Amino acid sequence: MNEYQTPSDIYIGKLLNNRYLIRDLLGAGGMGRVYLAEDVTKNCMLVAVKMLSLSIGNTQLAERFGREIFIGAQLGKKSSHITRVLTYGITNEKIPFYVMEYLRGRTLKQILKIENLTLSRFIEISQQICLGLDCAHKGVTLNGKIYPIVHRDIKPENIFIHNDGQRTEIVKILDFGIAKFLTESGGITMTEAFIGSLPYSSPEHMQGKKILDERSDIYCLGLLMFEMLTGKHPFHTTSHSFSTWCRLHCIQAPPTFEEVNPSVQIPQELQQLVMRCLAKDVNDRPQNVSDILENLAKIKTQIQENSIQNSGELQLDSHVKLAPLTSISEKECWQKHWPKNKPLASICFPHLLHTTKGNIPTLWAMLPEAEILKLKNKTHTNEFISKMDYPMLLWITMLYDDESGLIRWLSYYLDIKDIREEKILRNLSGIGYYHLLLFTHENPHKCSHVLTFLLTAKQRQYLSDIINSSRNSHKINSSKQAKNILRIEYEKFKKEVNKKLNINSKKLPNFFNSWADKLLDIFKSS
C-alpha cells in the first residue's frame, strides 16, 4: 500500500467525472492530495490529479486553489519548466480538483539526500529553474493586463527533476499554491498571516513587508543554490520557531561555502553570485532572473575553458566528476574522414558522432582552404529558426572575418518527424554544445579544423519546446512548404545581419547577443 493511502481514501479505484480513473495516492499536503490517474479517453494516458482537502465552502482555501489552477494553466503553456495544468473540475462531493501532467523522477530534496551534484549538473538545474522563474516573473494575463507572479515557496521539495525516458532531464517548478500576483504598484500587498516555509523565506517575507517582488524569489533561489553546491542549508538550526528563522534570514550573515563544507571547490565567481542572491537588502541582489542566467552562462563557459586548458576534470568533490569535456570529443573529431557517400563540394550536414564520451552532435562542412584559414579564429555564432507550421527547424551557423568582410553561412533543415534528426536535436538541447568539423576542397578527406559552439540557455529551452510541441503537431503543411517558409525567414535574418555588420562591424559580438534573444522571442511568440 502506498505510504499516503488510508482506508478513508474513497477516490482510489473511482472514475472521476467519467474520465479519470484514480489509481493511487502519490502524496498529501496541507492543501490537498495528489493522485495518479489514467485518462480513459486518451488511451489511459497517465496524469496527476490534485484534489483540495476541503469543499469549496472554505472560501480562503478555495481561492488559493483557484489561483494555483489559473497560474499553472497559463504558465505551464509558456514554459516547460512549470508543471502544466490540463483541466479542472468539481467532484460530486463539491471538492474542487485539477488535472496536470504526470511527472516521472524525483524532487531535488530526494536527490540531495543521496548524492552530490557535479558543477555541470548544478549549472544545468539552476539554469532551468531560472527559466521557469523568469517565465513566472514575466506574468500571466488577467482581464487584459499582465501581472507578474512571485512563487514565494522555492525550496527543494518544489523542484522536480523529470525524466521521461530520454537522456535529458527537465526541471519542473511545482506548487504555485501560495504564489501571488504583483500589483500595478510593483509588488504584492500582504494582507494575510505568514504562509511559506521557514527555512526558505526571504527576509522581507519574514518581516511581513507589504511589498514583495521577484527579488524575494531570488533570495530563496540563493538558498537553494547554496544547498545544491554544499549539500547543506546555509543556516543550520534544530529550531522550528518563527523568531529563530527570522533572525537567521534577517540578521545572521550567511557562512562561507568552506565553513559549511570544506571539501567542495567552487569557482569564486559562482560563490559571489550565490552570495549576491543571499543579500539581506533586496537592492543588493540581482534585480532579475535574467541577470542570474547571464552570469551562469559566463561561469559555465569559463569552467569549460579552464577544463580544456588543464586537460583534466574539474571536481565538486573527490567522488564526483564533471560531464565529458568538449576537448575529449574534439580530439576524436580530428580523426574523422569525409564520408564516401557525400560529394566533394561546398556543403554541410549534421551527424550524431559516437564517441567514447557518448553521442555528440556535430556539423560537417567543406570549404576552400583559404576561407577556412581566414574564418577559423574569427567571429562565430549560431541560431535556430522554426515557425511551428510544420515540425521542422533551420539550424544556422555563421562564420565571419571582420578584416575581409567574408561571411560563410552554414545551414541545414532538420525534420523533427525524422527519428534520426529528432535525435540530433535532443542531443543538442541536452548537451548544450556541438562541434563543427571543417574539411578543405584541396585536401578533402581528413578533418582540417574543429570549432566548438556553445548554446545559450534560451536556445536549449527553445529546442526543447520545439521538440515537445512537435509531438502534438497536426499541421497540414508539407515538408516542402515548411522549407519555403523557413527560407523566407532565413533571408530576412541574413539581410538584417548584413545590414548591422555594414553599420558597425566592431560591435558584432554585442549585436549578436541582443539580436539572438530578440529573434528567439519573436519566433517563440509566433
Separation between Cα atoms, residue 392 and residue 326, nearest integer Å = 27
CA distance 176 to 147: 15
- The distance between the two most distant Cα atoms of the chain, rounded to a whole number of Å, is 80
CA nearest 524: which of 384, 398, 424, 338?
384
- Helix then strand then coil, in percent of the chain rounded to 5, is 40, 25, 35
> How many helices (H) does the chain have, and how many strands (E)?
15, 22
> 317 catalytic, yes or no?
no
DSSP string, 390-454: SSEEEEEEEEEETTTTEEEEEEEEEETTSHHHHHHHHHHHHH-EEEEEEEESSS-SB--EEEEEE
- Select which of 24, 39, 134, 153 is catalytic: 153
CA 359 → CA 103, 130, 151, 400, 424, distances in Å?
A: 26, 27, 37, 28, 9
CA 219/CA 204 separation, integer angstroms: 10
- Neighbouring-strand partners of residue 100: 48, 85
Three-state DSSP at 65 gives: helix
**Nearest Cα to 489, choosing from 418, 388, 367, 366?**
388
Report the alpha-carbon distance of residue 33 to residue 179 in Å, rounded. 18
What secondary structure letter does DSSP report for 282?
G
From the centroid of its chain, how far is CA 45? 25
CB 103 within 8 A of CB 83: yes
C-alpha dist (Å) from residue 274 to 220, 237, 255, 258, 504: 10, 21, 12, 14, 36
- Look at residues 32, 58, 51 and name the one whose alpha carbon lies nearest to residue 95: 51
Cell 503543411 belongs to: 477
Residues sharing a CB contact under 8 Å with residue 314, sequence separation 6 or more, in sequence order: 119, 265, 303, 306, 307, 322
List the end-to-end C-alpha distance of the chain, in Å, as a whole number. 47
Which three-class secondary structure state does DSSP give residue 234?
Answer: coil
Cell readout for 3 is 505510504
Residues with a known catalytic role: 153
